[in-house]
């Protein structure tokens, strides 16, 4: 099968969508399928490259910066049209939210035949006001024209405002990770608490720092970058936090794995349902690291079990979060038990299982003669 993925960015760019796309692409390529990925780039011209070891051909489109977190890619429609004409993929898999990729698909296929379109709806657009009036209708058009739509959790299928009226035909395919490198880690669970993600408001980092200030013995490592970085650096110098918070910026995979291996627990203090799954928590679980997470009615709650792999706290409740951190800080036995339970639960979310379910879904979209 020839598959074209239309995404936002690709490895080595870090992020939930980017990580999932990489595992999907490499996982299906490993099964013998031809996989192309078309995403935004950073160079002055579009480039094509083979991803080392992954068997995936990646094309990065000319990009003129970002607007409201969306890459501006003026050549994207032309690249879509060229790949459809020259490579003739059997199926195109569009990853949303990505309104400019929606526009590129609609422009490239206007008035002509096109392969079936599969859509992975990763999350609703919640914070861009213009999205309600311009972006959502554009994405809705792609969703309605798609041969099929999938999401990462049952909670997202039910709660998504952008999928209203389409729920019955939406397939749930939970995210999955490859066995390596996570299974090789030997977690010590004696170091600082760890946060991994974008430094943006909905991630709840101010609440996390407030909770840490109430946990005198605790330390915290914050991995990631984003618009709140300067503000968080200033907060970390307050007397109640001074010397106990390290902001590393983005880390490459070996350095991130080293941080996971020493972490006492991963903290996911997100404030609302913008956190649809929390892939960072699955990575931590696969590494044998327990998770302290906001109790959100999303895939975050579907992934773990209170007292087995996770400690859950009400979103935005710094006092409850501090109590959970203090509990782990003072109980090595509990920390070890939750970490072992987290690794057991993560085993059910492997990449092979995700790829199996994805290919089965593709088969239903293509029909028996094309799959």
Shared domain for 104 and 201, answered yes or no, is no
Residue 284 within any structural domain of the chain = yes
Cβ count within 10 A of residue 40: 24
Shared domain for 165 and 189, answered yes or no, is no
Phi and psi angles of residue 303, each rounded to the nearest 5 degrees, phi first: -80, -35
At residue 135, the pLDDT reads 77
Shared domain for 200 and 135, answered yes or no, is no
pLDDT digits (tens, 9 = 90+) for 162-172: 999 998 889 99
pLDDT digits (tens, 9 = 90+) for 274-324: 899 999 999 999 999 999 999 999 999 999 999 999 999 999 999 999 999
H or E element, residue 70: strand 70-71
Shared domain for 280 and 233, answered yes or no, is yes
Q: What is the spatial distance between Cα 328 and Cα 273, in angstroms, rounded to a whole number?
A: 26
Shared domain for 319 and 187, answered yes or no, is yes
Q: In terms of residue numbers, what domain contains 220? A: 182-349
CATH code (residue 19): 3.40.50.2000
- Are 218 and 192 spatial neighbours (Cβ–Cβ below 8 Å)? yes
Shared domain for 20 and 150, answered yes or no, is yes
pLDDT digits (tens, 9 = 90+) for 75-126: 899 999 999 999 999 999 999 998 889 999 999 999 788 999 999 999 988 7
Residue 371 within any structural domain of the chain = no
Shared domain for 332 and 301, answered yes or no, is yes
pTM of the model: 0.89
Residue 226 within any structural domain of the chain = yes
Shared domain for 211 and 168, answered yes or no, is no
At residue 213, the pLDDT reads 97
Whether 43 shows a pLDDT value over 90: the answer reads no
Q: What is the spatial distance between Cα 203 and Cα 270, in angstroms, rounded to a whole number?
A: 4
Q: What is the spatial distance between Cα 144 and Cα 125, in angstroms, rounded to a whole number?
A: 17
pLDDT digits (tens, 9 = 90+) for 200-240: 999 999 999 999 999 999 999 999 999 999 999 999 999 99
Shared domain for 142 and 210, answered yes or no, is no
Shared domain for 51 and 30, answered yes or no, is yes
Q: Residue 63: CA atoms inside 13 Å, Cβ hemisphere, count?
A: 20
Shared domain for 165 and 84, answered yes or no, is yes
Shared domain for 338 and 199, answered yes or no, is yes
């Amino acid at each position: 099968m020839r598959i074209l993925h239309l995404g936002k960015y690709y490895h080595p760019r870090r992020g939930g969508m980017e990580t999932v796309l990489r595992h999907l692409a490499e996982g299906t390529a490993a099964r013998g399928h031809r996989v192309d990925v078309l995403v935004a780039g950073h160079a002055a011209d579009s480039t094509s490259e083979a991803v080392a070891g992954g068997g995936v051909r990646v094309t990065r489109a000319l990009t003129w910066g970002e607007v409201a977190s969306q890459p501006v890619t003026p050549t994207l429609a032309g690249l879509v049209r060229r790949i459809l004409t020259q490579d003739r993929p059997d199926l195109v898999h569009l990853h949303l939210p990505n309104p400019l990729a929606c526009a590129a698909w609609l422009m490239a296929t206007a008035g002509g035949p096109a392969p079936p379109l599969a859509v992975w709806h990763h999350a609703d657009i919640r914070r861009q006001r213009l999205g309600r009036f311009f972006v959502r209708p554009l994405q809705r058009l792609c969703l309605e024209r798609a041969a099929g739509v999938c999401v990462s959790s049952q909670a997202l299928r039910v709660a998504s405002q952008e999928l209203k009226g389409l729920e019955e035909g939406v397939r749930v395919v939970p995210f999955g990770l490859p066995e390596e490198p996570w299974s090789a880690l030997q977690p010590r669970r004696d170091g600082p608490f760890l946060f991994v993600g974008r430094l943006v408001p909905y991630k709840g980092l101010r609440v996390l720092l407030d909770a840490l200030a109430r946990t005198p013995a605790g330390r915290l490592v914050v991995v990631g970058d984003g618009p709140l970085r300067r503000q968080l650096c200033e907060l970390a110098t307050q007397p109640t936090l001074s010397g106990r918070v390290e902001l590393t910026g983005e880390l490459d995979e070996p350095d991130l794995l080293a941080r996971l291996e020493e972490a006492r627990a991963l903290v996911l203090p997100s404030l609302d349902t913008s956190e649809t799954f929390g892939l960072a928590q699955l990575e931590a679980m696969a590494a044998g690291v327990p998770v302290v997470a906001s109790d959100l009615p999303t895939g975050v709650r579907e992934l773990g079990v209170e007292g087995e792999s996770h400690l859950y706290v009400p979103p935005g409740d710094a006092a409850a979060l501090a109590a959970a951190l203090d509990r782990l800080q003072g109980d090595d036995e509990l920390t070890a038990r939750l970490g072992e339970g987290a690794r057991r639960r993560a085993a059910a979310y492997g990449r092979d299982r995700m790829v199996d379910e994805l290919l089965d879904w593709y088969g239903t979209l293509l029909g028996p003669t094309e799959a």
